[in-house]
């Protein structure tokens, strides 16, 4: 089966600044790819290249089997896009917004109206359908924006930070809507700063930083890249942090801290090694508030990878 998105060696420069320096990515049809990276990493630029909003300086990009440079108009017929902020017209009602998008996809007047009603229903906006979207809450606006992106039932959907700025409840809502679309067969590429979101939604994750893809894999693959379990301790007293760090360093691994009194070190020996470390800490008289053995999270992956590359 043709990959829904296939990008090779994408380069985009703004003057002397290279926003993207040779990014490769592939999204097999029917799967979800999360583009993960800090602010300014190049996520939005990449989405704009994939959705024909900007032309790359170098590289090859195919979306839904069509080359973005050779036939951008055809690509636009096959994709849905929702940008970083909700691109809805605040003076139009929810219905008018969707009806307009339908007409601009050339669905025809009747079909555009039907589709608008349908989507308002699916996205639980029927009650607000005839109110200007200016009066909507952030979550409602975001839902309307997503509805706008799928008016023409595009096979490939691009969402740039779909849940940024949403409250936790609206975020759960959005995730549920996205899962529904994926179940129906939509290929989804989304960018996010939230590791939890990538972990939950994506089949595959590409970590991007300084315009380069620095890692790719499933959440589990990425986690195993940064090693096994971690022992995390919270030291009771500030003046004992250095002593605790020295003990943990005996494992031979780098000890990381979160700037407060919480220290983390990768271990290979599981609980046995944790007990050993606790004994050593106790021998040195270090008092602990909290201790735990945990699997690496995507946060560890992210910090390890982006920390190493900067």
Partner 1 sequence: MTATDRSSAPAQDRRDHLMQSEALRGSHAVLDGLVVAKRNLLKIKRVPDVLVGTLVAPIMFIVLFRYVFGGSIGASLPPGIDYAQFLIPGIFAQTVVFGATTTGAGLADDMQKGIIDRFRSLPMSRMAVLVGRTTSDLLTNVIVTVIMTVTGLLVGWRITSSRVEALAAFALFLLFAYALSWIMAFVGLLIRSPEAFNQLSFLVIFPITFIADTFAPSDRFPTPLRIFAEWNPITSLVRAGRELFSDATIPVTSTAFPAQHPVSYTLLWVAIILVIFVPLSTRQFSRATSR
When binding is defined by CB under 8 A, the residue of 33, 64, 195, 233 that contacts partner 1 is 64
When binding is defined by CB under 8 A, the residue of 118, 121, 167, 184 that contacts partner 1 is 184
HEC string of the chain equals CCEEEEEEEEEEEECCEEEEEEEEEEEECCCEEEEECCCCCCHHHHHHHHCCCCCCCEEEEEECCEECCCCHHHHHHHEEEECCCCCCCCCCEHHHHHHHHHHHCCCCHHHHHHHHHHHHHHCCCHHHCCCEHHHCCHHHHHHHHHHHHCCCCCCEEEEECCCCCCCHHHHHHHHHHHHHHHHCCCEEEEEECCHHHHHHHCCEEEEEECCEEEEEECHHHHHHHCCCCEEEEEECCHHHHHHHHHHHHCCCCCCEECCCCEEEEECCCHHHHHHHHHHHHHHCCCCEEEEEEECCCHHHHHHHHHHHHC
The reply on whether position 51 binds partner 1 by CB under 8 A is: yes
**Among residues 185 and 270, whose Cβ is nearest to partner 1?**
185
The reply on whether position 133 binds partner 1 by CB under 8 A is: no
Q: How far is the CB of 285 from partner 1 (least distance, A)?
A: 55
State the sign of the Cα–Cα–Cα–Cα dihedral 168, 173, 175, 178: negative
**Among residues 68 and 198, whose Cβ is nearest to partner 1?**
68
The reply on whether position 153 binds partner 1 by CB under 8 A is: yes
Give the count of residues interacting with partner 1 (CB under 8 A): 37
Site stretch for partner 1 (CB under 8 A), options 75-83, 116-124, 135-143, 194-202? 75-83
Q: How far is the CB of 198 from partner 1 (least distance, A)?
A: 23
When binding is defined by CB under 8 A, the residue of 54, 128, 182, 247 that contacts partner 1 is 54
**Contacts with partner 1 in 76-105 (CB under 8 A)?**
76-79, 81, 83-92, 96, 100-101, 103-105
**Among residues 60 and 89, whose Cβ is nearest to partner 1?**
89
Nearest to 301 by CA among 72, 34, 75, 42: 34
**Contacts with partner 1 in 228-287 (CB under 8 A)?**
none
* Contact (Cβ atoms closer than 8 angstroms) between residue 188 and residue 33: yes
When binding is defined by CB under 8 A, the residue of 48, 115, 171, 212 that contacts partner 1 is 48
The reply on whether position 65 binds partner 1 by CB under 8 A is: yes
Site string for partner 1, 113-132 (x = CB under 8 A): -------------------x
The reply on whether position 291 binds partner 1 by CB under 8 A is: no
Residue ranges binding partner 1 (CB under 8 A): 48, 51-54, 64-65, 73-74, 76-79, 81, 83-92, 96, 100-101, 103-106, 132, 148, 153, 155, 184-185
């Amino acid at each position: 089966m043709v990959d829904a998105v296939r990008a090779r060696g994408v380069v985009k420069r703004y003057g002397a600044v290279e926003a993207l320096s040779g990014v490769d990515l592939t999204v097999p049809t029917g799967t979800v790819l999360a583009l993960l990276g800090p602010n300014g990493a190049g996520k939005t630029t990449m989405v704009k290249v994939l959705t024909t909003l900007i032309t790359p300086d170098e590289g090859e990009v195919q979306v839904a089997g069509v080359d973005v440079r050779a036939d951008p108009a055809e690509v636009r017929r096959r994709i849905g896009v929702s940008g970083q902020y909700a691109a809805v017209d605040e003076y139009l009602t929810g219905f008018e917004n969707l009806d307009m998008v339908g007409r601009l996809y050339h669905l025809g007047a009747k079909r555009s109206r039907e589709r608008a009603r349908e989507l308002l229903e699916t996205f639980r906006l029927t009650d607000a359908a005839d109110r200007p979207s200016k009066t909507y809450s952030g979550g409602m606006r975001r839902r309307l924006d997503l509805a706008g992106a799928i008016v023409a039932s595009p096979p490939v959907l691009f969402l740039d930070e779909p849940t940024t700025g949403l409250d936790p409840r609206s975020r759960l809502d959005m995730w549920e809507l996205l899962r529904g679309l994926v179940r129906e067969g939509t290929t989804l590429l989304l960018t996010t700063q939230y590791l939890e979101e990538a972990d939950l939604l994506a089949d595959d994750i590409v970590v991007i930083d300084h315009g380069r893809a620095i890692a790719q894999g499933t959440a589990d693959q990425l986690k195993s890249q940064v090693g096994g379990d971690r022992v995390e301790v919270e030291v009771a007293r500030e003046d004992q942090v250095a002593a605790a760090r020295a003990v943990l360093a005996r494992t031979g691994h780098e000890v990381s801290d979160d700037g407060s009194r919480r220290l983390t070190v990768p271990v290979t020996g599981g609980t046995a090694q944790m007990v050993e470390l606790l004994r050593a800490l106790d021998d040195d008289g270090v008092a602990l508030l909290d201790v735990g053995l945990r699997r690496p999270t995507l946060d560890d992956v992210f910090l390890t990878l982006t920390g190493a590359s900067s």
